[in-house]
């Protein structure tokens, strides 16, 4: 198999975050602040990424604004020739800091939305006043003129707010909204009882998205990640393992996908030890599930195997205990029926309390 160069890199600058969303897909054990890569190392990694063929750099976290050197990191990425996208909750961004990011060459911002009302957003984010702060940041983003995508994560508690989220994206002047039904990785797995949408909600969301896409054609792009536990075919996770993108964790481990550390037998190379090029082409974790040779039946002989590459490896690991198994979302998986029943059971737990991560840092003061 000819290995293509990656198009995108997700740089998880830090796991620190002022919010503590119960759907957080970061690992349960987060990287400590004193293990985070320093500015110079990130700059070298950005250079290596550009030479490898990466075009888009997504600066993420945790909350990337928690890094005091964020402006320098954006400058370094632009110097390397990368298109830079900041994925943020907005907390920790001031008007002045946004202006400095603009001067440093930041190309695009993705702003997360935990809910369309202060009550919902602050409850889900676990951060009082977060919604008001976010609305202020959205206004500054518009005034500066950054291209904006609104990222709405939807689940059983806030799916009814989907129409308003789409309206808000238009009001903010966003070019795109990403409507992602909660995916259960990392911390989120603990909250399936509290967040799993019902089958009816999942169907309603798909209808609302289809109608809005037709009505807003040419005005707003709507990317949509459906509720896959209720689906019959899995998503093509990461565009196929080791084909389009890579993630670098705060402490410099290079992963084929955001949740790959949940697959216990994989060994991850670090940017301190090897070049990104060597890791991408020769790293054992990247080659573990490339192509189709690793597949078992029913994927091995399935005519969709190059369409979805058997679904999500991390989901197969989490739900079936075998990362090379067919993603149980697939109707051909022997575990599909049990998963659908399990999804309905989770969705019926209307009294379930949300389980919040006890974050070491509850509040990030804006850096002026
Ligand atoms: Fe995809 Fe495997 Fe299901 Fe076929 S059997 S549709 S390849 S997950
Ligand atoms: Fe890891 Fe899907 S999240 S392969």
Q: 363 phi and psi, to 5 degrees?
A: -150, 130
Residue listed under structure tokens 């080659």: 287
Q: Which of 12, 310, 313 to mutate to test the pocket of ligand 2 (most atoms within 8 A of CB)?
A: 313
Quote the mean pLDDT of the chain.
94
Residue 141 CA, ligand 2 centroid: distance in Å:
31
Residue 307 CA, ligand 1 centroid: distance in Å:
8
Residue pair 248/254 in contact by the 8 Å Cβ criterion: yes
Please provide the size of the chain in residues: 368
Q: What is the DSSP letter of 154?
A: E
Predicted local confidence at residue 153, as pLDDT: 94
- Nearest residue (by CA) to ligand 1, atom 8, is 310
Ligand nearest, relative to CA of residue 292: 1
Predicted local confidence at residue 271, as pLDDT: 98
Cα–Cα dist 113/101, whole Å: 21
Cα–Cα dist 277/58, whole Å: 18
Q: What is the DSSP letter of 27?
A: -
pLDDT at 277 over 50: yes
Q: Which two tokens stand for residue 111?
A: 């702003």
256 CA closest ligand 2 atom index: 1
What is the pTM for the complete model shown? 0.93
Band (pLDDT 50/70/90 cuts) for residue 358 is: low
Q: What is the pLDDT of residues 22-53, one digit of tens each?
A: 998 888 888 888 899 999 999 999 999 999 99
Residue 313 CA, ligand 2 centroid: distance in Å:
5
Residue 330 CA, ligand 1 centroid: distance in Å:
6
- Nearest residue (by CA) to ligand 1, atom 3, is 330
Cα–Cα dist 84/147, whole Å: 11
262 CA closest ligand 2 atom index: 1
Residue pair 204/227 in contact by the 8 Å Cβ criterion: no
Predicted local confidence at residue 228, as pLDDT: 86
Predicted local confidence at residue 365, as pLDDT: 42
Q: 221 phi and psi, to 5 degrees?
A: -90, 130
Residue 323 CA, ligand 1 centroid: distance in Å:
14
Predicted local confidence at residue 361, as pLDDT: 39
- Ligand 1 and 335: CB distance under 6 A: no
**Residues 8-21: what's their mean pLDDT?**
94
Cα–Cα dist 77/84, whole Å: 7
Cα–Cα dist 308/77, whole Å: 32
Predicted local confidence at residue 360, as pLDDT: 40
- Ligand 1 and 299: CB distance under 6 A: yes
């Amino acid at each position: 198999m000819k290995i293509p160069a990656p198009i995108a890199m997700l740089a998880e600058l830090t796991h620190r975050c002022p919010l503590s969303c119960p759907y957080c897909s970061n690992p349960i054990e987060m990287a400590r602040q004193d293990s985070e890569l320093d500015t110079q190392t990130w700059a070298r990694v950005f250079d290596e990424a550009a030479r490898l063929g990466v075009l888009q750099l997504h600066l993420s976290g945790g909350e990337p604004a928690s890094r005091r050197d964020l402006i320098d990191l954006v400058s370094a990425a632009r110097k390397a020739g990368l298109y830079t996208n900041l994925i943020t909750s907005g907390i920790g961004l001031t008007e002045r800091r946004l202006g400095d990011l603009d001067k440093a060459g930041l190309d695009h911002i993705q702003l997360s939305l935990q809910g369309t009302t202060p009550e919902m957003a602050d409850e889900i984010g676990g951060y009082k006043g977060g919604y008001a702060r976010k609305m202020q940041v959205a206004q500054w983003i518009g005034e500066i003129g950054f291209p904006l995508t609104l990222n709405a994560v939807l689940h059983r508690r806030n799916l009814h707010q989907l129409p308003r989220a789409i309206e808000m994206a238009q009001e903010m002047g966003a070019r795109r909204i990403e409507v992602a039904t909660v995916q259960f990785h990392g911390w989120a797995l603990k909250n399936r009882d509290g967040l799993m949408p019902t089958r009816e909600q999942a169907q309603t969301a798909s209808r609302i998205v289809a109608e809005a896409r037709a009505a807003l054609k040419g005005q707003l792009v709507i990317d949509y990640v459906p509720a896959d536990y209720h689906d019959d075919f899995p998503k093509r996770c990461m565009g196929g393992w080791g084909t389009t993108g890579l993630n670098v964790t705060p402490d410099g481990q290079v992963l084929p996908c955001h949740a790959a550390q949940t697959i216990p037998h994989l060994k991850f190379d670090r940017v301190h030890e090897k070049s990104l090029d060597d890791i991408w082409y020769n790293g054992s974790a990247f080659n573990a599930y490339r192509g189709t040779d690793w597949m078992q039946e029913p994927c091995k002989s399935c005519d969709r195997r190059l369409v979805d590459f058997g679904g999500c490896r991390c989901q197969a690991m989490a739900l079936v205990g075998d990362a090379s198994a067919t993603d149980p979302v697939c109707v051909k998986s022997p575990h599909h029926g049990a998963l659908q029943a399990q999804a309905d059971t989770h969705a019926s737990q209307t009294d379930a309390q949300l389980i919040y991560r006890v974050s070491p840092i509850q509040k990030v003061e804006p850096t002026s």
